[in-house]
Amino acid sequence: MNAQASNGNRDNGSDVDVVVVGAGFAGLYALHRLRKDGYSVRVFEGAPEVGGVWYWNRYPGARCDVESVDYSYSFDDELQQEWNWTEKYATQAEILSYIKHVADRFDLRKDITFSTRVTDAELDEQTLRWQVTTDSGESVSARFLILAVGPLSNANVPNIPGLASFAGTTLHTSQWPHTPVDFTGQRVGVIGTGSSGIQAIPEIAKQADQLYVFQRTPNYSVPAGNVPLSDEDRAAQKANYAERRRLSMLSGGGSPHMAHPKSALDVPPEEREAAYQKRWELGGVLFSKTFPDQMVTEGANATAREFWEKKVRAVIDDPEVAELLVPKDHAIGTKRICTDSNYFQTYNRDNVELVNLRATPIEKIDETGIVVEGGKHYDIDTLVLATGFDAMTGSVAKMNIVGRDGVTLNDKWAAGPQTYLGLGTDGFPNMFNIAGPGAPSVLANMVLHSELHVDWIADAAKYLDEQGAVAIEATPDAVENWGEELRTRADGTLMPTANSWYVGANIPGRPRVFMPFVGGFGVYGEIIADVAQAGYKGFALLPS
């Protein structure tokens, strides 16, 4: 037990070393690592169970778009050797059972308070401790406050006139019921064609009598190429796990796949085609990282888009429908590429109709369905909102976090998130945000990203104790410089050009700021390691 960590009365749980908000991948590892290091830790979780997004997002077809073997913890070799993933891309249910297994295996539940949300966290400037309050009225004092709330956890419910008057069933993909929903014999309307809609639509279409898809903006999607994993597949993956993890940590997105070494424009057409084909067969989101300049120049990006378009048009029977499904407003990959299983083919079914909201926007929702401009009424029994999230900052913003001089984090971030390395913010000592804005965040494999951040925080805590310091706080200069670094890097790519949730464009009134660190997961890992190596350069170490 660490000397400083063991100070104070930790027995009643109202005075601990660390409060972690959230029991998803990030929060659970934070609990495990910091508890192992001798700190007393309490985790508060809004759901009645562990899992975070994998607890909530149970819509039909929900899967991860990162391969299961990579989207899993690396911190314990026995764990990764003993767990058997059944499919290349795991379903929500399988990921949730994995997370529950981890919680049980490492005896994590005893330090988690479920069905309880943190509402407030206030800094005591004298002691530099955080007074954390929950919606059950509990108040806990903590030295460290770790926000592990996830960048995609605050549902975006669209402000459509009459939505509340709908008399049928309304479901949001990220707040899906826990008992299976049976669409048999129903007329279903889905609003939204992002990752969630694109995964759910083929599944709903198989059951429903009639499915109307209300599309505002088409998205790029690449087939998952999901397959069951055989014993041989698993054995091969596990035999090579260490190397797989090493490459992932060095990679652009946290998976062990490296981009082609040359520019998309510097290789002969056959070689380019072959590289895209290989990524297409790998499946999913990594298609956007086939060539290093694909997200940098329009010319390189166009080669990826052309490849994609040929593939997709070929599987859609009706050329007019295909025309509506091909994105025209953004470069491929500047919004997260979706990962699907027979999404585009679903529009070949007789019971599926694509409603183009660009031509006829939704006017209102009434008791029995959706009315679009021009007066056409779509009769609907169940309405599915696949309308996404108030991403990156939405769940942090729901808490009233008050730092130095009574300044709230929401005030501080009013013009967009301000962080140093995505980890800390000046005025908020000993508060850390995991895998949020300012870090690679949603551009990387969240599980490895969470481990990277938690390990960095744990090492920083140890360093503080070794130095006899109480707190660590980003300096204003470091925050400003990091903001500049993020902007410069993002502006050097095509990424900020799209109206994506990366820039907050999906939420009316949000400042337009490209929030993730775009320079790659491996590069980011080096940067934060160098900062630590240099005695936490850019942070002030505060004495008691």
Which positions lie near ligand NA7, rule CB under 6 A? Answer: 152, 158, 160, 173, 191-197, 216-217, 336, 357, 362, 386-389, 442, 501, 506
Q: How many CA atoms lie within 13 A of 82 on its CB side?
A: 8
Which residues, at least 6 apart from 360, have a Cβ–Cβ distance to it below 8 Å? 372, 373, 374, 376
At its nearest, how many Å lie between ligand NA7 and the CB of residue 145? 26
Lookup: tokens for 102: 């981890």
Closer CB to ligand NA7, 40 or 387, in the complex: 387
DSSP states of 281-306: HH-GGGGGGSSTTTTT-HHHHHHHHH
At its nearest, how many Å lie between ligand NA7 and the CB of residue 391? 7
DSSP states of 441-509: GGGS-HHHHHHHHHHHHHHHHHHHHHHT--EEEE-HHHHHHHHHHHHHHHHTSSGGGS--GGGTTTSTT
Lookup: tokens for 465: 């104790």
At its nearest, how many Å lie between ligand NA7 and the CB of residue 118? 23
290 CB-contact burial (10 Å; exposed 0-12 / middle 13-18 / buried 19+) = buried
Closer CB to ligand NA7, 388 or 437, in the complex: 388
Closer CB to ligand NA7, 54 or 536, in the complex: 54
Closer CB to ligand NA7, 140 or 160, in the complex: 160
Distance CA 157, CA 165 (A): 14
At its nearest, how many Å lie between ligand NA7 and the CB of residue 262? 29
Closer CB to ligand NA7, 344 or 389, in the complex: 389
Q: 3-class SS at 263?
A: coil
Beta bridge pairs of residue 211: 188, 352
At its nearest, how many Å lie between ligand NA7 and the CB of residue 287? 14
Distance CA 431, CA 434 (A): 10
At its nearest, how many Å lie between ligand NA7 and the CB of residue 126? 41
Closer CB to ligand NA7, 304 or 384, in the complex: 384
Distance CA 154, CA 149 (A): 9
Closer CB to ligand NA7, 170 or 263, in the complex: 170
At its nearest, how many Å lie between ligand NA7 and the CB of residue 207? 20
- Give the nearest residue (CB) to ligand NA7: 194
